[in-house]
Amino acid sequence: MKNNLEILEVSEDVIRQYINSKSAFTALEQAKLRATEFRGGMIWKNVKGKDYLVRTSTRGNQTGLGSKSDITQAIYEKFISGKTSAEEFRSGLKNSIIQHERLNRALRVGRTPSIIVEILNAIEKAGIADKFMIIGTNALYAYETSAGVLINERHLATNDFDLLWDNRKKLSLATKENALVKGMLGILKNIDPSFKLRDDQLYTAVNKDGYEVDILRRIGHDNNQEPSRLSSLEDDFWAVKAKNADWLLSAPKFSEIVVATNGKMARMTTVDPRAFVLFKLWMAEQVDRDPLKRTRDSSQAKVVFDLIGSYLPQFNFAELKIFPNKISEWIITDSDGIKKIKIK
């Protein structure tokens, strides 16, 4: 696809740097995962003159592994060696990430707003990233990054961040280090202390710059049994019902490493781009939706459809089965705009 006003290709230098920085980031993800095998510690504890091997947790719990013997000594040495190796490897990768962040910034690799990357990393650090999915306009950053292009900024302009909470899963707002004690709002306040819930919308937090974070949830089959508050804290988020959010939760997930304007990186998990297109088309058809938003929905669907056709051909619309047939048939095949035709 040749460059046009909607989708622009980036330079080879930028793509090369992104590939290298992504490789380092994903390697660090794996290193962090491996490091969880060595959480806590392992000590020898003397009880009545006899040494016992004890595994300690980050919360101070202790588990006895047996008295000192060749077997427990081998367990101890393997754990200490593995923990040391994992920490050294992770430390080296962290230094590599710092260098890549500088290069990302210098080469202008990313343009995802830095606050988005901060929120994504904070949610991941809290251990609840698998309970949320980014939806709406900000998903475009993941799509364009994966395609190695830039989507026209008019499609990206937004001052809010939509998080879809999968309330089918239990949400525990506490890390293994027990560091999170102020709920989801506390996560945002750690990033920017000015964040607070709006009095008229308890599902929305806003900061001093007017940037908003919304928490949405599916309606569910049994409305009375669906949780709507993220935690038991009185000043924490409530989640607003989003019509047909089940379509998004049931669609395949799309995950990509996005880069902020300051060079920092984070993993963004959002909805499959095909589902984005179809959901935006459906939203554009809703007569009770703001006309300006309906126009924006339609244009975003169009640009992502073009993106899939030219840069992400592995996504086949015919294979996406989670939308009603009448919606799955809304697809474009010509250059005049979105047409309602049957997928062949």
Per-residue pLDDT band for 225 (boundaries 50, 70, 90) equals low
Cα–chain-centroid distance for residue 68?
Answer: 45
Helices 70-106 and 12-35, axial angle in degrees (round to 10): 160
| pLDDT tens by residue, 306-338 | 899 899 999 988 888 888 877 877 665 555 555
Which domains are assigned to the chain?
32-105 (2.40.50), 110-271 (no CATH), 273-344 (no CATH)
d(CA 289, CA 283): 8
Regarding predicted confidence, which is higher, 86 or 262?
Answer: 262
| pLDDT tens by residue, 5-19 | 799 999 999 999 999
* Residue 181: per-residue pLDDT: 57
| pLDDT tens by residue, 203-214 | 999 999 999 999
On whether the CB atoms of residues 244 and 290 are closer than 8 A, the answer is no
DSSP, res 108 = T
Dihedral of the alpha carbons of 14, 15, 20, 23, in degrees to the nearest 10: 140
| pLDDT tens by residue, 22-41 | 999 999 998 888 888 888 88
Write the burial class of residue 54 (CB in 10 Å: 0-12 exposed, 13-18 middle, 19+ buried).
middle
Write the burial class of residue 62 (CB in 10 Å: 0-12 exposed, 13-18 middle, 19+ buried).
middle
Tokens of 32: 């962090």
pTM: 0.85
| pLDDT tens by residue, 42-77 | 889 888 889 888 888 877 788 888 888 899 899 888
Q: Is the pLDDT of residue 175 over 50?
A: no
